[in-house]
Structure 1
Amino acid sequence: MREQTRLETSILADSLLFSTSELEKRVARYGALSEPEDKSAAKRAYHSLLTSLEAWRATDYGALAKTSGPDRVKLTGALKEIRSLETVLDDLKGPGSVDQALGTLQSVGGSLGQVGATVAARAATQSESARQTLLLHQKIQAGLTLALLFIVLAWIWYLLRRNADLKRENQAEQERGERLARRLDHDGVTGLINHRIFAERVCAARRDLTRNQTLSVFCVDLESRLPTTVNFDQRAEDAVLAGAADLLRHAVDPLDTRGCLARAGGKGFLILTVSDEELGLTTADIADRIRAPFLRPIATEHGSFVITPAIGHADAHDADREPTDVIRNAELAACNAVTNGRRRVVAYQTVMRAEIERRAVVEGALARAVETNECLPHFQPQFNLESGRVFGVEALARWYHAELGWISPSEFIPIAEGNGDIVPLGWKIMETSCNEVQLLPVELTLSVNLSVAQILSDDVVGMLEECLARTGFPARRLKLEVTESTMMNDLKRIQETLSQLRALGIGISLDDFGVGYSALSYLTDFHWDEIKIDRSFAAKAVRDRKQRDVLKLVLGIAETMGSRVLVEGIETIEQRDALVEIGCKNGQGYLFGGPMAIDDITTLFFAEHSHRSLSGI
């Protein structure tokens, strides 16, 4: 019996190693979110699966599989298909490659599942045979007991004790088998069914739907909302997940629906509900019940935690290619809630899939765009408001794609910040701008934005020195713009870096002051060469006396600190006149000119004179 126990345990372990679910989850998540960490995790899961499959013949699992010709063929074919995935996973880009990978994995997973079921059945047959043999031994020993009852009473006592031991062992084996089967279908932390069983139940519920019923899947994503403190370790995380599972059980169990709760891949949950119009239970009602428990802290032995999950849901439709597409749609809705920081339940919309696909295309093209000089600077002129003369330009990244056309910075800059492309993009814009501005006939100042990733890199000072040396651009003409939100990342370290840059002769500008986390302390804690007032002040200064008073206060502080002030977003003559009346001397905005190529700057402002006056605007 111990050998059968070892065999069943070994077969279970091998079945888990041959599972494609972890790789499918990582590939699907990368297709939805395009996070580099998911791609790396997919590669690790792939190599782990490949290693296990390559060694299948040397395992107990393989020994049982070899007894069946079809099983050997399936395992050999699965290994071949898994090996063919390596190039696809190395170049995992658009939805086509993701769908190809998922399709192959589903095919391999089906084959492995069939082999696993056959092997498990053979192992169960061997175990049952052993148990039947054990029962036979019990009967034989019972007969011997009766036969030898009158011979030796000591033998009677021994055989009875042995019989009891065998019964206990048989019961223990049955319980162990049940536990092993449960481990295959349930999550160890929460006790909930896993993604595979949940998908099967979704398919079954879809088949049984009636005309007035709606099948919905809710994805409750905690991954991006869990604490990130040092004290929040794996044990605390597991406790929070278990507590969240209990909250969701209490929310879902009272519902009069044919639903279920499951642990999703990663740190989240999936909920299946079937609502009935006749009972008056709508999807919105169910969403409110799921969200309500998280309005209170989750109490654990490691403390109480306030967790506001991202929740998305989707309904099953006839247009779905597969019944389980509703799961993917719910996960996309939850992903949308994470991306947009939403605190309410988000319903799936078809545009979400298009947005994910568009993001994947843009992200895939961005790295190549930086290398092939598709991303280039455009320059917005900066003016003296009283004389109308150009004294500087601000470099702004612009991207024209051969197929997608102009791609807005509001679209590709967040993607670049998320995947790390913002660093090479920032340096490309910096160096190109330093080269191109020197083509203008006067010594204008050049303002360039410095990203958080650039300023927190260890070699930012050395990189700028090299850039200025290569381009020959004077440090005194360069201004680096940093936002208040950048300062919040690591105030002391950033101030030290900015001081080193100022020591090179580079000007430092505080960008977008007056929006978000604005604080007067930012004006006085560092010696700014320039303070750029957010564009919202230009519009408000015309009609709001309080805003004008605040702006006068900032101008006074800047004068005391020896800093120049520049107002952004000036779009009308009325705004310009109001700002001049307050005492603002410098500005930029579409009244004077939007971002444009360097040739357009030359044509518009330096065609006839070294400076072109716009005082007559």
Structure 2
Amino acid sequence: MMDGFSRIGETLVGKMRLLAIMVLGGLVLVIIVQAEAVLTTGEAVNRSMRYDIAMNGLNGKLDAVNALERVSRFAATRTPEDAQAARLFHNILLSRIDTWSAGAFGNFVATSPERVALLERVRAQVSGLSPLYARIEDPGVPDEIRRTLAQAVSGLIRIGGQAMMSNLTEAADIRETLRERQRFQNALVMVLIVFGAVLLAMMSFQARGLRLARESAERSARKFEQVAQRDPLTQLANRLAFDAALDKAIVEGDAGAGRLAVFAIDLDGFKAVNDMLGHAAGDSLLVSVARRLEEIVGGWGGDGLVSRLGGDEFTVLTRVPNGAPQAKARAQEMIDGLHAAHGLDHGNIVVNVTIGYALVDGQTVDADSVVQNADLALSHAKAAGKGRSQAYDASMREDATRRQLIEAGFSCALSRGEIVTHYQPQVEMATGRIVGFEALARWRHAELGWIPPSEFIRIAEASGRIAEIGEHILRSACRDASLLPQDVPVSVNLSVAQLARADLPGTVADILEETGLPPERLKLEVTESMVMSDSTRALATLRRLKALGVWIALDDFGTGYSALSYLRDFAWDELKVDRSFVQTLESDAQSLLIIRSIVELAQRLNISVTVEGVETPSQCALLRRAGCRVAQGFYYGHAVPAGELAGQLLRSFARVPLLEKPDLLGKGA
């Protein structure tokens, strides 16, 4: 009986094997047929993608019409801008004709000798116009160009129309082909469903295959786990591997090998490499930095780990037997080693790096704290000038907490009126009469008390809140100034973020209208560095502001990069001499000479001059002898709230003879 069961089992297994072979054979046949259908459908789709011939033809006709229209416009206006536009569209038309001779459109043209001849004739006509475009300003030349262009436009329209008709015909064929193949593929899908159902019934007999597949998947998972801990570009350890290594090192300890140190490394100016040389060059530089870091760390011995966390951020995990001095020395070694030129395919690239580092001590119990400490040290190193290293100390965490508290408090400070406007007087040195005020932001924080402007302005710029604060100060200054005598202007500093906004002139106009302050009583101050960041856009915005009637002042004059060129490019109303020259007046004769030169230059250009940072009577005397007329600084008064301005003005006017009529807004030094 057992033998009978065995024979029956063998027979069933044989039949199942035969059935499986038949199913697989049927599937292979269906797959072959399906593949042929897919290829045919793909060919139809590829043909459908040649519809860009019609679009190319349409664009060519539009380019021809635009070229003709630009010449006609110049003939009517005779302006240099329209002449330049006419030449531009002529070049565009030449480029379009070149594209018609290549690619799919070129193949379309080549199918008809008549079209080939017509396109060559049009090319010759348009190319022959280049000498005429060179002297388009001459009388009669635009008309001659239009006559020739009119002939070329006719030919281009004819070719473009033929391209459109050809595409329409081909589109009809493609649609029919796709419909036929779709019906055929629907039938194949039904066949596949049937074979699939049979195959699913046989899957219960594939236990062995599933086991082998599971084992293979486990091997692949182990391999992928290794890959997942590597940065794909540099092949360094990634953040996952770094975190695991740091956790392990902290848990294991090993004080005999020295203290554990984490170095956070950031490339200075890496974005500029990407922008100027391209991302391929940036990637090559990152790989070079990675290899050099491995070489440097490998020279220390031990089991140091170099990792890339992302972008241009690298970390190094190592032990320093000699503690902090050795950590500092190793940070400098990495700065020097990475600064040496990196020889890449794109040329030699020199980069600086900034490093922050932290050492693990007995109080450090988790990896996150160590990394945060190194990052805080890196932030402080960047703030101090980049290209340097900085060790972490506990005060940095206090600074970070304070910064977070300040940054989180901006919204409430504005809504509660904690950020207020104070005003520092600008004084005519000869008489002591106040001739204006500069609006300055002041903040009395609910928890921190008075926060220096140098601190919260910098944080506001970094957090993107400076434009909101600047608009608040501008509105307050205009509102307060509207209550002062008509001959007293107010100066307001603009931030980089405000100057970059296209709606700034509209905002200023709205505030002036809202507060009723005459435009000529508002001075807007910008620094040279702000203008230099995007001079074209900045000067265009300043011209729009000046058109409103407000005064534009160049602040911190003399400390920038190319101040004289800005005097030529823009009609400034006022120059503000930087306080750094005033501070060295009594110890450096060159400072006085520079100020005198600025005053003389401003007089010739009919620009007002205000000197900042005057703190002593001797400085005031020297500046008056140098020809300066208006100054501000602690010698004349600190910034005060709006409520104290009236009293200051009364005391100021009391020093001036009653019949004197000051020209507070008159130009001149």
- Normalising by the smaller structure, the TM-score range is 0.5 to 0.7
1:227 matched to 2:272:
yes
Per the alignment, in what secondary structure is the counterpart of residue 219 of structure 1? strand
Q: Distance in 2 between matches of 1:559 and 1:441?
A: 27
Q: Distance in 2 between matches of 1:507 and 1:331?
A: 44
Q: Which residue of 2 aligns with 1:359?
A: 403
Q: RCO higher in 1 or 2 (8 Å CA, sep ≥ 6)?
A: 1
Stretches of structure 2 lacking an aligned partner (at least 5 in a row): 1-206, 658-669
CA shift, 1:213, in A, is: 1.6
Q: Which residue of 2 aligns with 1:379?
A: 423
Q: Which residue of 2 aligns with 1:390?
A: 434
1:551 matched to 2:595:
yes
Stretches of structure 1 lacking an aligned partner (at least 5 in a row): 1-128, 135-168
CA shift, 1:578, in A, is: 0.8
Q: Which residue of 1 aligns with 2:662?
A: none
Q: Which residue of 2 aligns with 1:332?
A: 376
Which shifted more, 542-551 or 360-369?
542-551
Per the alignment, in what secondary structure is the counterpart of residue 391 of structure 1? strand
Q: Distance in 1 between matches of 2:451 and 2:397?
A: 19
Per the alignment, in what secondary structure is the counterpart of residue 255 of structure 2? coil
CA shift, 1:301, in A, is: 3.4
Q: How many residues align?
A: 450
Q: Structure 1 residue aligned with 2:296, among 240, 251, 257?
A: 251
1:261 matched to 2:306:
yes
CA shift, 1:351, in A, is: 1.3
Per the alignment, in what secondary structure is the counterpart of residue 546 of structure 1? helix
1:461 matched to 2:513:
no
Q: Which residue of 1 aligns with 2:534?
A: 490
CA shift, 1:585, in A, is: 0.9
1:427 matched to 2:475:
no
Q: Which residue of 2 aligns with 1:400?
A: 444
Q: Which residue of 1 aligns with 2:571?
A: 527
1:577 matched to 2:621:
yes
Which has the higher Rg, Structure 1 or Structure 2? 2
Q: Distance in 2 between matches of 1:208 and 1:479?
A: 63
Instruction: Tell me, yes or no, if the aligned pair for 2:259 and 2:361 is still in contact at 8 Å.
Output: no
Q: Which residue of 1 aligns with 2:632?
A: 588
For residues 468-479 of structure 1, the aligned pairs below 5 Å read: 468-479=512-523
- Residue 311 to residue 479, structure 1, CA distance change in 2 (3 Å): same
Q: Which residue of 2 aligns with 1:290?
A: 334
Q: Which residue of 2 aligns with 1:71?
A: none
Instruction: Tell me, yes or no, if the aligned pair for 2:438 and 2:491 is still in contact at 8 Å.
Output: yes
Q: Distance in 2 between matches of 1:185 and 1:481?
A: 52
1:306 matched to 2:306:
no
CA shift, 1:338, in A, is: 2.7
Q: Distance in 2 between matches of 1:447 and 1:182?
A: 62
Per the alignment, in what secondary structure is the counterpart of residue 647 of structure 2? helix
Superposition TM-score, scaled by structure 1 size: 0.68
Q: Which residue of 1 aligns with 2:363?
A: 319
Q: Distance in 2 between matches of 1:277 and 1:480?
A: 56
Cα deviation digits, residues 284-308 of structure 1 (max 9, x gap): 3322332222121223334443221
- Residue 409 to residue 281, structure 1, CA distance change in 2 (3 Å): closer
1:202 matched to 2:246:
yes
Instruction: Tell me, yes or no, if the aligned pair for 2:293 and 2:338 is still in contact at 8 Å.
Output: no
Q: Structure 2 residue aligned with 1:179, among 223, 228, 252?
A: 223
Alignment-mate amino acid for residue 297 of structure 1: A
- Residue 188 to residue 131, structure 1, CA distance change in 2 (3 Å): farther
Which shifted more, 172-181 or 211-220?
172-181
Q: Distance in 2 between matches of 1:366 and 1:462?
A: 24
Q: Which residue of 1 aligns with 2:261?
A: 216
Q: Structure 1 residue aligned with 2:235, among 191, 194, 197?
A: 191
Alignment-mate amino acid for residue 358 of structure 1: R
Instruction: Tell me, yes or no, if the aligned pair for 2:339 and 2:353 is still in contact at 8 Å.
Output: no
Q: Distance in 2 between matches of 1:492 and 1:262?
A: 41
Instruction: Tell me, yes or no, if the aligned pair for 2:257 and 2:319 is still in contact at 8 Å.
Output: no
Q: Distance in 2 between matches of 1:372 and 1:421?
A: 16
Which shifted more, 260-269 or 363-372?
260-269
Q: Distance in 2 between matches of 1:585 and 1:269?
A: 54
Per the alignment, in what secondary structure is the counterpart of residue 633 of structure 2? coil
CA shift, 1:342, in A, is: 2.3
Instruction: Tell me, yes or no, if the aligned pair for 1:449 and 1:480 is still in contact at 8 Å.
Output: yes
Alignment-mate amino acid for residue 250 of structure 1: E
- Residue 549 to residue 341, structure 1, CA distance change in 2 (3 Å): closer
Instruction: Tell me, yes or no, if the aligned pair for 2:494 and 2:524 is still in contact at 8 Å.
Output: yes
Aligned-residue Cα RMSD (Å) equals 2.8
Q: Which residue of 1 aligns with 2:456?
A: 412
Per the alignment, in what secondary structure is the counterpart of residue 448 of structure 1? strand
Alignment-mate amino acid for residue 354 of structure 1: E
Alignment-mate amino acid for residue 551 of structure 1: I
Cα deviation digits, residues 167-216 of structure 1 (max 9, x gap): xx999989755531222222211212222322222233332322572111
Alignment-mate amino acid for residue 240 of structure 1: L
Q: Distance in 2 between matches of 1:360 and 1:341?
A: 22
Q: Distance in 1 between matches of 2:446 and 2:247?
A: 43
- Residue 284 to residue 418, structure 1, CA distance change in 2 (3 Å): closer
Which shifted more, 550-559 or 588-597?
550-559
Superposition TM-score, scaled by structure 2 size: 0.63
Cα deviation digits, residues 362-392 of structure 1 (max 9, x gap): 0110122123322111000011110111110
CA shift, 1:590, in A, is: 0.6
